[in-house]
Chain A
Amino acid sequence: MDVLRIEELTKVFGKSITAVDNLSLSVRRGTMVGFLGPNGAGKTTTIKILTNLMAPTSGSAYLEGVDVSCDPKSALASVGAVVETPEFYPFLTANETLMLLGRIRGMTDSETRDRSKELLTLFGLGERANSKVGTFSKGMKQRLALVQAILHRPRLLILDEPTSGLDPRGMVEIREILRSLRDNGYTIFMSSHLLPEVQETCDRVAMIDCGRLLLEKSVDEISSMVTADRIEVVLAEIPNQDVLSRVSDLRGVTDVQMPSSLKLSIGYEGDAKARDLLLRELLAAGLKVASFNPHGLALENVYLKIVKGSG
């Protein structure tokens, strides 16, 4: 069953600004879907409609089969969300904030206390549990936002740029937690600007621009679509000229450059299978390959091409 289903969703501001344009999308249970798009694409507007912060102009959004606009209490009963840059009540402590939200969501006080303690420690906020949230940094608030989103073990997590405001280590920690949640059966729908993050953590990707859905595929399908532009090869040994000329003649190679004596930058057209073949041919040609890296990510390439094309 689809945990999240968007049907022909449209949102128009004023008379002429169409933020979401006939968007249809679904998310299956137990998957993690990355929601990508440039600034102003309609990602946050879509998330706000899903989380009852806005009403659609037309179309519907269903969470666990319940229309959010018609019955937000039922629709959001098993949903945890982080929307935009999170702000909290500065006069409440972290524990008090979680207690308030836990009660609204139907948790008992003892369950909320135990779960709060576990999650605050996990997210590195254990020592600040009884500090007023008004004293928290932006990164700490982002962590607390994630804590409150998963506090009640919701079936669906809706996250708007979950690693925003975190340092690199924090980003890595959050990604690991999100992967762990997905493995434990949570369904996650998250928007992000960070393509490596989406490619590493998500099962599927939905790309939008100008409010319209441009692509919705699994990460594997996207990877197989991509033809890398350049491949960076680091060598363990300086190659001779003979070997280099053989590389230029390999199928798919458009040009070969040597930025240094132990590096090759190969212009290439081909999918993942063809790249695998190229690597074997380079080794067969006598090159001592230390590393073999397609330049840029599959997702990045597809994203840039699609978004550019939609403009």
Chain B
Amino acid sequence: MADNGPLERTPISDFAQVLLIARHELMKYIRGRRFLGVLLIVIVLALLLYGFLLPGSYGGPFAGSRDEYLHIEPYSYEGYPGYQSVGFLYGPNIVPGTLRITVNGSELSSYEWLFVGNESLVLFKQDFTGSSAVVQASYNFAVSPDQFAGSFLDFLPFIVTICVTVAGADSLIGELQAKTACLLFPNPIKREIIFLGKLVGSYSVGLVAIGSFYAAIAFLSYVALGSVASYLSLSFGFAVLFLLTCLTLALAVSSVSKGTTGALILTFLLLLAIFPMIEEAGTAAGMKMWYLPTFAGDTVIYSLQFDHYPRDTFGPGTATQFFPNLGLSAIVLTSYSLLLIALGMIVFKRRDLSF
């Protein structure tokens, strides 16, 4: 063997090693088809929502025009004096300024009626009850871009959970279980660097997945409604932060788990069942669970309404609703991420790799 003897070596920098491990981790997910699997889930979900599930929940397409006959009843409430009858509109999401009322085919002047948008009804100064007049409404309807995006983003926690379970939850414990730790660890590389490299690699998978989901939302919103939610990019910012929090949680679980199956199941349950259940219980008890990562993660949806952000409401039973504060939630998610990174690194560094 042509060998000139041993050489003194200087390993590459910690930063370069992080990138190396991240690239290796990404390759693992691509070649193992996990990456493809996650992307497929995102695409299929987006298409299912757009093509079937959301139109079903909205009772029809996202936008269009509609004609309907109004059922007229007497109006005797004091809320709007001067009006004698009321007609009920079926369709939601009526585009303001497009409503036209006709009586027996002739358009009724807008001075003669009042549209109460939040209740989908029309008040008439004239009493049309009992008469043979045919009262018809025609209008354009469209789901607002905020509503459209929000309907998709209701499923973002599911996508994030899938991402971090598939690419993250067994990342560390997998090295021990497969004994590849015996190959990787006896090298001039710190365990903290291995942890960070795997974090970066797994995070890349999640970023591509949720980035694709948001791109699909924007594209489909433009196709269906001709516009995109104004604060979609703000929502994406919170999504990216929420993804990081969930991923660091998955890695922390992985660093303490005894096996890959346990790590996968625990991560999945924490994000999709345990935290949401605690949140529900707290809300029912009248407590705002602002410190839970899943509660703070709801900013993904509510940030779409940045201009008219919802306020907490209190009432009996399910009437109580809490909404996460944007600034506080950003702090909560960031704090969780930093704490879990530190915890995961410390545990992983100290862990004895005995098989």
Chain A residues engaging chain B, CB cutoff 8 angstroms: 13, 48, 51-55, 72-79, 81, 83-89, 91-92, 97, 100-101, 103-107, 118, 122, 145, 148, 152-155, 158, 177, 180-181, 184-187
Using Cβ atoms and an 8 Å threshold, which residues of chain A touch B185? 51-53
Indicate with 1 or 0, residue by residue over B185-216, a CB within 8 angstroms of chain A CB atoms: 11111110000000000000000000000000
A104 touches B7 (CB 8 A): no
List, in ascending order, chain A residues with CB within 8 A of B31's CB: 91
Q: Name the A residues within 8 Å of B11 (CB-CB).
A: 73, 77, 104-106
- A152 x B3 contact (CB < 8 A): no
Instruction: For the complex of A and B, list the 10 residue pairs with the smallest distance between their C-beta atoms, beginning with the closest.
Output: A51-B186, A87-B179, A185-B5, A81-B186, A91-B31, A155-B6, A77-B188, A53-B353, A83-B182, A106-B11
| Whole-angstrom CA separation of A75 from B11 in the bound complex | 11
**B232-264 interface mask toward A, CB cutoff 8 Å, 1 = contact, 0 = none?**
000000000000000000000000000000000
Complex Cα–Cα for A203 and B221 (A) = 76
Contact digits for B272-310, partner A, Cβ 8 Å, 1 yes 0 no: 000000000000000000000000000000000000000
Q: Contact check, B187 vs A104: say whether CB atoms are below 8 A apart.
A: yes
Q: Is B66 an interface residue (CB 8 A)?
A: no
Residues on the B chain within 8 Å of A118, using CB: 1-2
A52 to B191, CA, bound (A): 9
- Find B182's partner among A53, A55, A91, A92 (CB 8 Å cutoff): A53
**B-chain residues with CB within 8 Å of residue A92 when the two chains form the complex:** 27
Contact B186 A184 (CB under 8 A): no
B331 at the interface (CB under 8 A from A): no
Residue in B closest to A160 when the chains form the complex, CB atoms: B182
User: Does B20 lie at the interface of the complex (its beta carbon under 8 Å from any beta carbon of A)?
Assistant: yes
Q: Does B28 contact A (CB under 8 A)?
A: yes
Contact A105 B181, beta carbon cutoff 8 Å: no
CB distance B5 to A186 under 8 Å?
A: yes
What is the bound-complex CA distance between A97 and B8, given in angstroms? Answer: 21
Question: A73: which of B8, B189, B353 is its contact (CB, 8 Å)?
Answer: B189
Pick the contact of B8: A52, A75, A155 (CB < 8 A). Answer: A155
Q: Are B12 and A103 in contact (CB under 8 A)?
A: yes
Query: Please, which residues of chain B bring their CB within 8 A of the CB of A81?
Result: 186
Interface CB pairs A-B, < 8 A, 11: A53-B186, A72-B191, A73-B188, A84-B179, A97-B183, A100-B24, A104-B11, A104-B188, A153-B3, A153-B6, A185-B5
- Cβ-defined contact, B3 with A74, below 8 A: no
Contact between B188 and A184, CB atoms less than 8 A apart: no
Can you name the residue of chain B whose Cβ is closest to the Cβ of A107? Answer: B9
Question: Do B187 and A184 have beta carbons less than 8 Å apart?
Answer: no
* New contact pairs (20) apart from A52-B186, A181-B1, CB-CB < 8 Å: A48-B354, A53-B182, A54-B353, A72-B191, A77-B8, A77-B11, A78-B9, A79-B186, A83-B186, A88-B180, A91-B28, A92-B27, A101-B183, A104-B20, A106-B9, A152-B7, A153-B3, A153-B5, A155-B8, A158-B186
Interface set of B (CB-CB < 8 Å, partner A): 1-12, 14, 17, 20, 24, 27-28, 31-32, 178-183, 185-191, 350, 352-355
Quick one: closest B residue to A132, CB to CB? B31
Q: Which of A54, A74, A145, A177 contacts B188 (CB 8 A)?
A: A74
Most chain B beta carbons < 10 A, residue from A84, A86, A106, A118: A106
Bound form: Cα–Cα A144–B24 in Å:
19
Given A51-B185, A55-B352, A184-B5: A106 and B12 interface contact (C-beta under 8 Å)? yes
The docked-state distance in angstroms from the alpha carbon of A77 to that of B11 is 6
B181 contacts A53, CB within 8 Å? yes
CA distance A155 to B4 in the complex (A): 12
Contact of A186 among B6, B190, B354 (CB under 8 A): B6
A72 touches B354 (CB 8 A): no
Q: Is the CB of B190 within 8 A of A105?
A: no
Contacts of A100 in B (CB 8 A): 20, 24
Chain B residues, CB < 8 A from A88: 180, 183
In the complex, A75 Cα to B24 Cα: how many Å? 24
Residue of B nearest to A100 (CB): B24
Known contacts A100-B24, A105-B11, A118-B2; is-contact A87 B353 (Cβ 8 Å)? no
Q: Which B residues are CB-close (under 8 A) to A184?
A: 3-6
Residues of A near B188 (CB, < 8 A) are 72-77, 79, 104-106
Contact of A89 among B5, B8, B28 (CB under 8 A): B28
Cα separation A81 to B185 with both chains bound (whole Å): 10
- Residues of A within 8 Å of B353, CB to CB, are 48, 53-54
Shortest beta-carbon distance from B346 to chain A in Å: 13
CB closest residue in chain B, given A148: B183
Q: Is the CB of A104 within 8 A of B17?
A: yes
Q: With the chains together, A55 CA to B180 CA distance in Å?
A: 18
Distance of B179 from chain A, by nearest CB (Å): 4
Minimal Cβ-Cβ distance residue in B for A185: B5
Q: Which residues of A contact B186 (CB under 8 A)?
A: 51-53, 76, 79, 81, 83, 158
Point out the residue from B6, B179, B187 that lies within 8 Å of A185, measured CB to CB: B6
Minimal Cβ-Cβ distance residue in B for A50: B186
**Complex Cα–Cα for A184 and B11 (A):** 23
Return A51 CB to nearest CB of chain B, in Å: 4
State in angstroms the CA–CA spacing of A88 and B180 once bound together.
Answer: 6
In the complex, what residues of A have CB within 8 A of residue B355's CB? Answer: 84
